[in-house]
Structure formats: C-alpha cells, structure tokens
Amino acid sequence: MPDSHAMSLVDALIQGLTAPVSEAQRAAYASPPYPTPPTLVAPRASVLGELEARLPADGDGPMTVTRVLGPVQPYRLQVRSLRRPGPFRFADAACALLAVGAVTDDGAETLRPHLPPSCGIGRQQVLNRLAADDITGASAAADRIEGGTGWKGHRDIAAALADRGDAAGFFAGWKRCAPAKDRHGLADLKRRLVEGVARASGWEAALALTADKRLGPAFAMHAFTAFGADVDGLRRVLAGVGALPELDQLTLLAEAVRQAAGKDPASDHPYLPELVDRIIAVDPATDRAIVRTRDWLLFSLWPAMGEQATLERARKAIRTPQYKRELHRLPRDVTASLRHRPAS
C-alpha cells in the first residue's frame, strides 16, 4: 500500500485534475499574467514542490513521457516545462512523479480515472520497467495501454533493445510496434538498431543485418557510425566494402573528420582537402536533392576547417545561398571575436 505521503501527493494531483474552475477563470489562466484559479493554488504548490524536491543533484534524472503519443525526455526538462508560466498540467506532473517514484503504480491506478486519454502514464510505466531492465514487465505494461496506442509503448521497448544492439529481441516485438504507423519514427528505430548492433557486435554484423527486408540497404551507412573520429579506419573499411553510395560514404567521412578535428582547429585535418575535393566532384547538375546534400556536406565541414584557403574553396563550390553567406571566417576566428566582444 502507498504510504501517507504518497497518498497525500495523489490526493493533491486528483484535486488539481478535478477541482471546479469557471470558464472565466480558465480563460484568464490561459493568458498573461496567468492567474491561477483559487481552487488550484494549493494543489499546484504541493505538486510543484514535490517535483522540484525530486530533482537530482547531478544529471537530468530518468526518462519521462507525459503524452501517450508524445516524445520522451529527461525528468529535469519536464520539470522545467512544468515551471513555466501558464496553466499547470497536473496530468503531465503525474507522469513525471511516477518516473521518479514519488507516485507508485498503485497511485497511478488511483489517478487513472481522472486522467485525460492523451496522458502518457501507461507509457511511463513501460519506461520504468525498462529502467529496471524488466523487458517482460515493460511488454505487459505496454499491452495494458488503452485506446489502441499500446504500440507506442512497444516502440519504447524496441528503442531500448535497439540501443543495446539486441536485434533478436527487437524483431521479436516487431508486429507489436505497428510498423504501418508513424513511418518516420519507425525509420529512426531502424537506424538506432543498426547503430546499436555496430557498437555491440561490430560493423560487419550491423551491415549483415541490413539484408533483412525489414531494414534494407538504405540503413547500411549506419553500420559504420561506431568508428567515431577514426578517419583512417573508416576509410580503409569503406574502401574494402565498396557497397555504399558515394554520398553515404561522404556523409560518414565528414562526420568522422569533424569529430577528429576537435574545436577551433589551427590547421586542416590531413584528410580534409581530399574530402572537400570528393564532395565538390559530386555532379551538382544531376538532381536538386543531390545539390542540397552536396552543399550541406561542404557547409557541415566548417567546424573542421583550419585554413582559409579550404574555407574559400568550399564557399566557391556551394550553390545554396544560405550556406554560402555563412562561410566567411574560420571557426577559431569566430571564437576569438566572441571572446573579445565587449560586455553589454
């Protein structure tokens, strides 16, 4: 059974969710200066105080979700959002407090009849099970989510399995993830799976995984992201594999060079001039999307540029005006100018 403190917190949440608020008070609450309706003053203070008391001394706290179809974010960011002026979202607060254990599962069940259908408390129970490494419990919690949205909970499970490189577990729950829905979100899960397998088992295993028809060759480039700043190692492997389109190879190499260059480099990375040549050599007349990708790759290398001649060569080759306008000074020169800017 919940202790008396938990019960008092649940009572405060219920009061905030059910207290009578007139239409005039609700309208005033929605606009500056956001006067809190009198019936919500006490529960808001109690709940917000508990949220703030649960902030960790270090880090951002557990992952939190407040809407059944919403994004997952750290607890600290959720508390920051709830602190903002405007109507206080008691249902969101309930999810956040469940994430940190201030509200128990029993308390969540007590709250459930008072929560709106959009509330993500069921998904938060999934996240809590995942944090405890209880995949079976997480799956059961996802199955209990009502309104035909349990697939979002199963995608939370798939994300955790993807990040640890567990391809067998990921595909075991594939149908529960409703692959026909939210294709963009599903593509992100596929990317995370390939990258997770690369971290856990190496690029060969990750590349082999993309032969599965549920993934496909479009995700092959993500098998090589674990190289990080190892430019030479990545070059050797890409040259040996020979299976990636040129733009995919250039995207990977550009990221590796950026990581290897560090902040405000004094000179170009040894491979940067050749990489710039390869990007410039991409035929910009073939397709508008290719032009945008080519120009973006050149622009994205700016943090790795240590020599003005390289910057000017990239700028001259770029056709997209918004990128061309930005490329004038080297990163270290921009940093120096900001450092010496007079205080306002």
8 Å CB contact between 284 and 290: yes
Q: Please check whether residue 258 lies inside any domain of the structure.
A: yes
Q: Is residue 301 part of a domain?
A: yes
Give strand pairing partners of 65: 72
Residue 73: strand pairing partners: 64
Q: Does a structural domain hold residue 194? A: no
Give the three-state DSSP class for 1.
Answer: coil
CA–CA dist 151, 320 (Å, integer): 40
Quote the CA–CA distance of 26 and 44 in Å, as a whole number: 15
**Which is it for strands 72-74 and 63-65: parallel, antiparallel or unpaired?**
antiparallel
Query: From the centroid of its chain, how far is CA 150?
Result: 20
Amino acid making up residue 24: A
Does residue 332 fall inside a structural domain?
yes
Amino acid code (one letter) for 263: K
The answer to whether 196 and 188 are in contact (CB under 8 A) is no
Q: Within a domain: residue 333? A: yes
Q: Give 64's strand partners.
A: 73
CB 276 within 8 Å of CB 319: no
DSSP states along 52-93: HHT--SSS--SEEE-BTTS-EEEHHHHHHHHHSSS---HHHH
Indicate whether 297 belongs to any domain. Answer: yes
**CB contact burial 38-57 (16+ within 10 A = b; e otherwise):** ebbeebbebbbebbeebeee
Residue 324 included in any domain: yes
What is this structure's pTM?
A: 0.89
* φ and ψ at residue 134, rounded to 5 degrees: -110, 85
What is the total count of domains within the chain?
1
pLDDT tens for the 344 residues of the chain, in order: 444 444 499 999 999 999 999 999 999 999 999 999 999 999 999 999 999 999 999 999 999 999 999 999 999 999 999 999 999 999 999 999 999 999 999 999 999 999 999 999 999 999 999 999 999 999 999 999 999 999 999 999 999 999 999 999 999 999 999 999 999 999 999 999 999 999 999 999 999 999 999 999 999 999 999 999 999 999 999 999 877 999 999 999 999 999 999 999 999 999 999 999 999 999 877 788 999 999 999 999 999 999 999 999 999 999 999 999 999 999 999 999 888 766 65
Sign of CA dihedral 24, 27, 33, 38: positive
pLDDT score, position 271 = 97
Domain that holds residue 281: 228-344
Please state, in angstroms and rounded to a whole number, the distance separating the CA atoms of residues 234 and 211: 21
CA distances from 5 to 10, 15, 62, 191, 216 (A): 9, 15, 21, 43, 52
Beta-carbon contacts of 74 under 8 Å, excluding residues fewer than 6 positions away, are: 60, 61, 62, 63, 64
Residue 86 lies in a domain: no
